[in-house]
Chain A
Amino acid sequence: MKKHKTKLLAAACVGALLLAGCGKKEEVLSLFCWTEYVPQAVIDKFTEETGIRVAVENYTSNEEMLAKLLAGGGSYDLIQPSEYTVEALIKDGQLQELDHEKIPNLKNLAPEFRNLSFDPGNKYSVPWMAGFVGIVYNSEVVPGPIVGYRDVFTDAHKGRIVVLDDAREIVSWGLATAGIPINDVSDQNLATITPLLKDWLSKVKVFDSDSPKTALSNGDVDLGVVWSGEAAILFNENPKFQWVLPAEGFHMFVDNLAIPKTARHKELAEKFMNFILRPDISRMISADFPYYNPNAAARELLTEAERNNPASYPPGLDVTKAQLFSDIGEQGSKVDELITTIKVQ
């Protein structure tokens, strides 16, 4: 009889747990991030140290995140937008200003990441990871030298090229080659580079943004224009995969953490930002993602091998020379249509 009662009680508690979070009030941080971009170890450590539970929801592109966020799909305390999305969100008044008092670890960021064009002075966002788009080639098959985009899209490499399946990226390579600023995507400039892109894309075998390393590592293509993180993984697998930042000009992406205006727990969000800016924590992120870590203090903690990976930390890099994407708003649709049109022809 007694046993029966405890069982009932347990059942009731489970029910209550499901309904109200049962018992003591637990603090929950709602994090809306790229899938698998925030290591579970980091989240666990945060919960362990602060007692704050993290509810994670995932997306796989900035636009997906925008769609769900702006539709009001959920109330998120923290989002993880890329640079041009941060710019667009600030412009629209969608982000909350950060209280720098609460984020003393901002000091760990390398100075060149404290004043980026999309958010000068980190008023609204904290850099998470940065990376580059560049050329990777299999040096056993491609003799080189490969210096820029022009060396990639040659007849010799026809059908042996992988590129990111990303219209904005492809267009920016064309613009850089034509000597046009990569954010200047006017109709006229798009028309100017169309013949060039037509020629280039006719030589491409694979379009893949998610895992361009697969085609390279399987030997189905010999070179390509990909994310630096992909190239870093390839380099770790086999040093025959060489990495080059295009001479025509190279593009850097910066993923960030930011607090949307609809956030309910701004303080928890800032706590999390401060947490991931700690050198030891930021180092954990680097261990999983071989990108360029904006956290100078965390870089000191990297192993020799990690720091010497030419794709993660290109030798002789001058970050201030890197070009960033700014938001192009409605014109994005034209850019997308241009690449689709070229593909279909």
Chain B
Amino acid sequence: MAVPTAAAVLAPGPSLQRRAGLGPWLAVAPMMGWLLLFVIVPTLMLVVISFCERDSLGRVIYSFNFENYIRAFDWKWLKILGISVWYAFLTTVICLVLGYPVAYFIGRSSERVRGLLIMLVMIPFWTSFLIRTYAWISILSQEGLLNAALMGLKLTAAPIGFMYTPFAVVLGLVYNFLPFMILPIYTSVEKLDGSLIEAAYDLGARPARVFAQVVLPLTQPGIAAGILLVFVPAIAMFAITTLMGGGSNPTIGEVIHNQFTKARNQPFGAALGVLLLAIFIFSLWLSQRMRREEPE
């Protein structure tokens, strides 16, 4: 297998890691403290709450039972999770296809315009999410700009219902997550050694082959990071699916959200959240294991 080996050679093995002395320990302490206080402790609290009950006002009553988990093992929550993962997957694939060439182009541009172009990728998102989304709605709606254009060009006789469809959902998701794919890939492309590519050309390789066998493997860490940064947050995302999709397909993020903001059932919401975390961490752990075993 040519592709993984190329990347493996350039990535340092664990052998290059040094055992941490006092200095590194001190340096990593703030992050460890942060993780402990704001990630581990709240997560443990969630785990505790997920075994509790609540009263009529939604306050947690500390008790211990498995009821929330028994209730959580039901095909409908699984189906909802499945839909969420499917949307996240589609979003990730489309973002990768759309974003990679952009990241590559920007990363290979002259040093002077690189910074400018990468800023231009992010700046549209310094507006409010809702304003951007409502702008999209005014483009895609039945009396919107896109239909007006299509009908003006006589491409369609009757307006097309773009809004409140899976298409609109995926478009909204791709739009909002695209920069999180482009940026990490860009940082990988940016450090590409131009002479390696030159050498490949000198050896007579065609651009497509150079791209597939040199560029892609070398930017693999960026691709992996981009996939993580898009796929993971997209699973729990729900504002876009309700606004652009019409809310008839609830996602796991929305269901959990509703337990807190509508159903007054924090313990059940916590149980669903804990399960989501567990599934996610297990699959991440599995993929890490598989990746570690691969080179051997």
Contact = CB atoms under 8 A, between A and B. Distances in A.
A344 B249 CA distance: 6
A76 B79 CA distance: 41
Interface in B141-200: 141-144, 159, 161, 163-164
Contacts, number: 112
B128 interface: no
A305 to B, nearest CB: 25
Contact of B57 (A88, A165, A167, A336): A88
Given A66-B264, A166-B262, A340-B76, A329 B59 contact: no
Contacts of A215: 141, 163-164, 246
A203 B57 CA distance: 33
Most A Cβ at <10 Å: residue of B54, B79, B161, B248: B248
B262 A207 contact: no
Interface string A304-345: 000000000000000000000001011011011100110111
A205 interface: yes
Contacts of B288: none
A63 B264 contact: yes
A3 B243 CA distance: 56
A140 B159 CA distance: 17
Given A205-B164, A219-B141, A219-B143, A340 B262 contact: no
B221 interface: no
A87 to B, nearest CB: 11
Given A64-B261, A219-B159, A207 B246 contact: yes
A165 B242 contact: yes
Size category of the B interface is 35 or more
A134 B22 CA distance: 68
A119 interface: no
A38 B50 CA distance: 36
A236 interface: no
Contact of B261 (A63, A92, A214, A340): A63
B164 A206 contact: yes
A220 interface: yes
A333 B267 CA distance: 11
A336 B260 CA distance: 11
A333 B263 contact: yes
B138 interface: yes
A40 interface: no
A204 interface: yes
A66 B138 CA distance: 35
Size category of the A interface is 35 or more
B142 A220 contact: yes
A208 interface: yes
B247 A165 contact: yes
Contacts of A340: 76, 80, 250, 255, 258
A153 to B, nearest CB: 14
B262 A61 contact: yes
Contacts of B137: 214, 218
B142 A88 contact: no
Interface in A84-117: 88-89, 91-92, 94
A207 B245 CA distance: 9
- Chain B facing A: main interface SS: loop
A70 interface: yes
Given A205-B164, A220-B163, A70 B247 contact: no
B163 A207 contact: no
A167 B260 contact: no
B201 interface: no
Contacts of B91: none
Interface in A193-211: 201, 204-208
A224 to B, nearest CB: 12
B56 interface: yes
B134 interface: yes
B266 interface: yes
A170 to B, nearest CB: 12
Given A218-B137, A219-B142, A219-B143, A344 B250 contact: yes
Contact of B80 (A61, A92, A206, A344): A344
A207 B58 contact: no
B280 to A, nearest CB: 21
B100 interface: no
B219 interface: no
B92 interface: no
B264 A70 contact: no
A67 interface: yes
Contacts of A168: 262
Contact of A332 (B248, B264, B266): B264
Given A344-B79, A345-B76, 17 more contacts: A64-B261, A70-B59, A165-B247, A167-B263, A201-B248, A205-B164, A205-B246, A218-B137, A218-B142, A220-B164, A332-B263, A333-B263, A335-B263, A340-B250, A343-B250, A344-B80, A344-B250
16 contacts: A61-B261, A63-B263, A63-B264, A67-B261, A70-B57, A88-B57, A92-B57, A208-B243, A218-B137, A218-B141, A219-B141, A330-B55, A332-B265, A333-B263, A340-B255, A344-B249
Interface of B: 54-59, 76, 79-80, 134, 137-138, 141-144, 159, 161, 163-164, 242-243, 246-250, 255, 258-266, 268
What are the 5 A-B residue pairs with the smallest beta carbon separation, nearest first? A329-B56, A207-B247, A218-B141, A336-B263, A206-B246
